[in-house]
Amino acid sequence: MNIISRKLLSIITAVTAVIMLLPSSMTASAASAAYVRPQLSTKEVYSDLIKISVNNASAFPSGTTFRIYRAGRYLTGCSKSSADCIEIKDTGVTYFKPDTNYNFKVVPVLPSAGEQTNMASAIKVRTAPYTTYSVKKGTLLFKPKGSGMRSVSKTAAQIFVKGSLTNTKGTPLAGKKLTKSNIRFIYISEGMYEGYYIKAASAKRFSGAASGGLSSAEIKTLRQKVADYGASMAGGSYVYGGASYRRTDCSGLTMQAYAQVGITLDHSSYRQAQAGKAVSLNSMKTGDIICMNYGSHVALYIGNNMMVHALNPYDGIKIEPTSKLIYYHVDTVRRLIY
């Protein structure tokens, strides 16, 4: 064997030795390169609870989990199978403040490679100004007395109220440190029972963009309440930019109708065309919003192939059959309660 052959053999031997050492050290990085970053979206938002989704969880291998951090602090984790809806309550240290921006980081944990910080994704979410709750008929109402609460009445019907969590003394929890027994009551800040308290365990969160755990009967009740209020404006006057009862424009009508169940809509037909989720014209349900004419007009579907809308200063507010939609360009139908 000549000198050149010996050198070539030694080079090949050295390279082979290095390659044999690589698999164990490259496992994590190779695994990381095989998967994309988590694609995040906001699913539901309350004043004190945020729900996000990892939309591409199926792209990660079986056994993957996701860890959620805020300001470097671990908040919660979930498996790949439950990544469609991650609930971030932030309990144990402080409670979220309403109407406030929060930044979260989601880090995948691969079964063979551990936590992959280089694959982390970030999402910014603004909490809602309040939380809307569904409260059943006969729920006890409380008022503060001394250092505690005393029951004074009961709700006369199922209601949907805006409120915030408090402790047993009625002190708001937003942004404050918690103790094990702090969360007890909800202060009702708007509506028929404004100023009263209810036990937190007796109410269900309602997001306004989804059922929030309500039964099908409760959802149907909500939709009908929206439709009934909208229909009651028939015969009123069209007022451009208006948003008062029977004196309103098209988006003002739908905005007022949804306000009856604690759902806040923008006073804008264009913005309402982006609310909730899209459904087909053939599958409309009572309370859906029909968005027309390239974002310039909306109507409220009230069931039985009828709709109510504020048309113009000449026609005012009318209930008409949906067969009249042939004279409009239907952009989309939006469902806010589902």
Percent of the chain with pLDDT over 90: 41
Q: How many Å from the N-terminal Cα to the C-terminal Cα in the chain?
A: 81
Q: What is the extent of the structural domain holding 151?
A: 131-206
Examine residue 15 and state whether it is found in any structural domain, yes or no.
no
Q: Of 84, 109, 126, which one is at a domain's C-terminal end?
A: 126
CA distance 272 to 247: 19
Helices (H) and strands (E) in the chain, counts: 4, 24
Examine residue 14 and state whether it is found in any structural domain, yes or no.
no
Listing DSSP states for 77-105 in one string gives: EEEGGGTTSEEE--TTTBBPPTT-EEEEE
The residue type found at 167 is N
Sequence-distant (6+) residues with CB within 8 A of 5 are none
* Positive or negative: CA dihedral 304, 308, 311, 313: positive
Looking at the fold, whether 193 and 225 belong to one and the same domain comes out as no
Looking at the fold, whether 175 and 193 belong to one and the same domain comes out as yes
Return the CATH number at 247. Answer: 3.90.1720.10
Looking at the fold, whether 331 and 233 belong to one and the same domain comes out as yes
Looking at the fold, whether 117 and 140 belong to one and the same domain comes out as no
Residue 319's closest CA among 333, 305, 332, 329? 305
Sequence-distant (6+) residues with CB within 8 A of 38 are 54, 56, 57, 66, 83, 106, 108, 119, 120, 121
Examine residue 12 and state whether it is found in any structural domain, yes or no.
no
Looking at the fold, whether 177 and 278 belong to one and the same domain comes out as no
Q: Of 162, 182, 206, which one is at a domain's C-terminal end?
A: 206
Looking at the fold, whether 331 and 256 belong to one and the same domain comes out as yes
CA distance 73 to 152: 42
Examine residue 170 and state whether it is found in any structural domain, yes or no.
yes
Examine residue 255 and state whether it is found in any structural domain, yes or no.
yes
pLDDT of residue 2: 54
Q: Of 72, 102, 126, which one is at a domain's C-terminal end?
A: 126
Examine residue 45 and state whether it is found in any structural domain, yes or no.
yes
Phi and psi (nearest 5°) for 117?
A: -65, -25
Looking at the fold, whether 223 and 287 belong to one and the same domain comes out as yes
Looking at the fold, whether 222 and 322 belong to one and the same domain comes out as yes
Return the CATH number at 103. Answer: 2.60.40.10
Looking at the fold, whether 220 and 316 belong to one and the same domain comes out as yes
Q: Is 14 helix (H, G, I), strand (E, B) or coil?
A: helix
pLDDT of residue 314: 95
CB 257 within 8 A of CB 300: yes
pLDDT of residue 296: 96
Residue 160's closest CA among 206, 228, 196? 206
- Partnered with residue 78 across adjacent β-strands are 66
What's the token pair of residue 16? 């082979």
What's the token pair of residue 60? 């990660």
Helix (H) or strand (E) holding 290: strand 289-292
pLDDT of residue 23: 47
Quickly list H helices, 154-249.
Answer: 216-231
Looking at the fold, whether 254 and 317 belong to one and the same domain comes out as yes
Per residue in 240-281, pLDDT (tens digit) is 999 999 999 999 999 999 888 878 788 999 988 988 888 999
pLDDT of residue 27: 47
Q: For tokens 């805006």, what's the residue?
A: 162
Mean pLDDT (10-residue bins), the chain, 338 residues: 54 51 45 70 83 90 92 89 83 72 94 89 87 84 86 83 78 62 74 84 69 69 92 96 95 92 84 86 96 96 97 97 96 90
CB 291 within 8 A of CB 328: no
Examine residue 7 and state whether it is found in any structural domain, yes or no.
no
Domain count, the chain: 3
Per residue in 126-149, pLDDT (tens digit) is 887 778 787 888 999 999 888 788
What's the token pair of residue 150? 């005393």
Looking at the fold, whether 183 and 111 belong to one and the same domain comes out as no
Examine residue 34 and state whether it is found in any structural domain, yes or no.
no
Looking at the fold, whether 247 and 319 belong to one and the same domain comes out as yes
Task: Decide: pTM greater than 0.75.
Answer: no
